[in-house]
With several copies, the nearest count.
Chain A
Amino acid sequence: MEFAFTQEQEMIRETAAAFLAEVSDSAAVRRAMATERGYEPALWDRVCGEMYWQAIHVPEEYGGMGLGYVELVATMEQMGRFLLCSPFFATVCLAGNALRVAGSKEQQSRWLGQLCEGKLTATLAFNSGSSDWGADAITATWRREGDAYVLNGCYRYVIDGHTADLLVIAAREEDSKGEAGIGLFLLPAATAGVECRWLPTMDQARKQAAVRITEVSVGTEAVMGELGQSWEALARVIDIATIALAAEQVGGCQQLLDMTVAYTSERVQFNRTIASYQAVKHKAADMMLRTEVARSAIYYAACIAQEALEGTALSGELSEAASVAKSYCSDAYFAVAGDALQLFGGVGFTWEYDVHLYLKRAKSSEHLLGNGTYHRERLACSLLD
């Protein structure tokens, strides 16, 4: 039993922090978020070429670094801290994990290979517009026509869906309900009948898209896993991605805390730095508590995600670990962001200061992949029903 970063993991975290502090400062974030694409290709090239993060937890056989989910989570935490604008989450945590969990050897070696080379961005689409992120969120359909499958439907909240090269999409057999009938498909975005449209968002530092699929016909090579039986795999993918998202939230908490301590230590009111007021100190203490507790949640969840990817002893805890982490981290992030804005006072209300970027990320990431209420109800079901 050892629940601390190894030296190597520490190094990965430190390297990520140093790199991002340089390339993802406030000006860089603001440049990227003002574009429709939402990230600067040159920076993404550096991420892929220098840091090799896109390959971080991909097995070496597919050209990846073969590290674990703990390393991914440690990196994701830093991305959240610096609000890195990049297709990392969509490509690696959503689509990449879908390939890891549900892809065949062939699919993995074809697509993960390209992904590791940094040639490809990808994403996952499954929710048609629900705040319930379970199987009922899937309303797109598939039907068999001879050897082919015909897909139809709409998706919302598709992260980087308007720029991704490859889509992993979930659809259900026509007339199926609940967890039955779910299939997962690999679909190049350029396929005819696939329409991806940018949805401008309040949190400009992460882009979302709506995807509409109209009578798209695919062959069996596009099918991931056992058609109609894919909910269990998809649920695992979502849980694993959720843990990465929670890590991003922890990074945001940390940055807000650091910014707030720095600002309140400079700002003078009534001839005292406002950091010397107990009301300010105690709010900061609560921010730190939430941040550290959230961090404990994600490190544990990262270990569980790793086990789930490997199918080892504790895989069965995945759903719980994801819900524990996401419910706590979502609420923590929003509370910390709100407190930060309050302690910055008037300037925190300006576009010029960065607090609002985090406030907006806190709210958007709270609802993405299920908010606290949703995840607590998931926990309640297994505890009480």
Chain B
Amino acid sequence: MKLSFSPEDELFRDQVATWLRDNLAGEFEKLKYRGGPGDEHMFPAERQVWEQKLAEGGWTCVGWPREYGGRGCSIEQQVIFFEEYARAGAPGRVGHIGEGLAGPTIIAFGTEEQKRKYLPGIVAGTQLWCQGYSEPSAGSDLANVKTRARLDEARGKWLLNGQKVWTSLAHEADFCFVLARTDPDSVAHKGLGFFLVAMDQPGIEVRPIEQITGTSEFNEVFFDDAECRADDIVGEPGDGWKVAMGLLGFERGVSTLGQQMQFQNELDEVVRFAKGNGAANDPVIRQRIARAHAELKIMRYNSLRMLSGQSASDGALQKEALIYKLFWATWHRTLGELAMDVLGPECDILEGAPYALSRLQSMYLFVRSDTIYGGTNQIQRNIIAERGLGMPREPKGTAR
């Protein structure tokens, strides 16, 4: 075990920090601290310009192999990059679904042609992606996919019909990866396909979902004979679940440290308010702030364990990774409550009519989704108990 980074890595850190300081300025100044979770609907166009700026500097896809246009950074360097990115207050990445999910999936499971076709646009920040997994009747039961894909062999096209939900950035995205049922008689995780679908076509309609924040960051996406080419399927028809699950694996990675840096920014703001309004003198608030601080510290150590463990080759179950989602989601939700309680009765007062939330208010409301999406806390506990502790699986119902 060692905590310090190598001199080379520290040099890399300086390089990242310097580039961000020099470039996150001027027209991009207003993007600072914007576009994160709960704020993803803000400045999409400007943030795409920023994405391209990053690409110019070689700061997109830093963890991807060089052969696919990435920077080929080590895990340590990726950690450093995401930390410095968040520390600088650089904006939420409109390209993160392409860089973090679609790209790695295509790299892992895609054909050479798919790689040539889709990866460069992600690296360049010119093509944005969104994700088509969740459906209204799915929710925690992710495999309960009702969207169907039918191959029109004559036209050499897949035709997709169905509905996806909770799709963020659907309005801005150029492409969507869609999990759809290729075998109409199949159920659950069998008979699915994983499709790469262009968003700009008549068969796709995007409707925003109004959230409890009054804003709309998520969307419903309707597919009505939406098309993609016959070879725009990743893997074979029927492989969709395998591909999708591989993809979910990519979600848990080095970016957790950047996420934590955002959490730190939020906690710092809570502390600032507490000092400003006297809540910092309330012993109960002090305990809660100290607890949030301690657990955020440990969250970082836990991520370091996760990342160090990944390089181990023994394939052992990473318990610290298994509990991570439940831990951070619950922590973040608790931070939201703490923020409001620091504000006291002022927590109810908006910045303006009709519904202008302050940053902390928006955070407070938005974090309620953290314990729901990507596996609710309840599903997480099932997974921990079943995979981590070998306890019996939940019985699935038969009828209802």
Contact = CB atoms under 8 A, between A and B. Distances in A.
Chain A in direct contact with chain B (Cβ < 8 angstroms): yes
A293 B400 CA distance: 33
B267 to A, nearest CB: 9
Contact of B323 (A273, A281, A293): A293
B221 interface: no
A334 to B, nearest CB: 8
Interface stretch (B63-71, B89-97, B122-130, B343-351): B343-351
A3 B381 contact: no
Contacts of B289: 380, 383-384
Contacts of A297: 297-298, 301
B249 interface: no
Contacts, number: 288
A271 B397 contact: yes
B76 A1 contact: yes
Given A156-B345, A285-B380, A359 B212 contact: yes
A143 interface: no
Categorize the interface residue count of chain B.
35 or more
B170 interface: no
B347 A363 contact: yes
A220 B327 CA distance: 52
Interface string A276-291: 1111111011101100
B186 interface: no
Interface in A123-144: 127, 129-131
A203 interface: yes
A300 B301 contact: yes
Interface of B is mostly: helix
B5 A1 contact: yes
A360 B213 CA distance: 11
Interface string B221-252: 00000000000000000000000000000000
Contacts of A130: 344
Contact of B79 (A1, A202, A303): A1
A281 B385 contact: yes
B385 A367 contact: no
Categorize the interface residue count of chain A.
35 or more
A276 B390 contact: no
A76 B391 CA distance: 28
Given A299-B301, A328-B298, A371-B344, A5 B1 contact: yes
Interface stretch (A101-109, A112-120, A164-172, A347-355): A347-355
Contact of B274 (A261, A278, A279, A384): A384
A270 B396 contact: yes
Contacts of B397: 268, 270-273, 276
B347 A371 contact: no
B385 A285 contact: yes
Contacts of B352: 200
A349 B378 CA distance: 16
Given A1-B79, A3-B308, A367-B344, 7 more contacts: A1-B304, A129-B346, A201-B349, A302-B1, A345-B139, A376-B290, A378-B290
A295 B368 CA distance: 27
A166 to B, nearest CB: 23
Interface stretch (B18-26, B190-198, B353-361): B353-361
Contact of A380 (B1, B5, B287, B297): B287
B348 A364 contact: yes
A176 B114 CA distance: 76
B264 interface: no
Contacts of A26: none
B265 interface: no
B260 to A, nearest CB: 13
B304 A3 contact: yes
Interface stretch (B49-57, B98-106, B154-162, B369-377): B369-377
Interface string A233-268: 000000000000000000000000100010011011
B377 A342 contact: yes
A230 B398 CA distance: 67
Contacts of B283: 377
A276 B166 contact: no
A351 B212 contact: yes
Contact of B378 (A279, A296, A303, A385): A279
Across the A-B interface, the 8 shortest Cβ-Cβ residue pairs: A131-B344, A272-B397, A271-B397, A281-B385, A376-B290, A3-B304, A356-B212, A285-B381
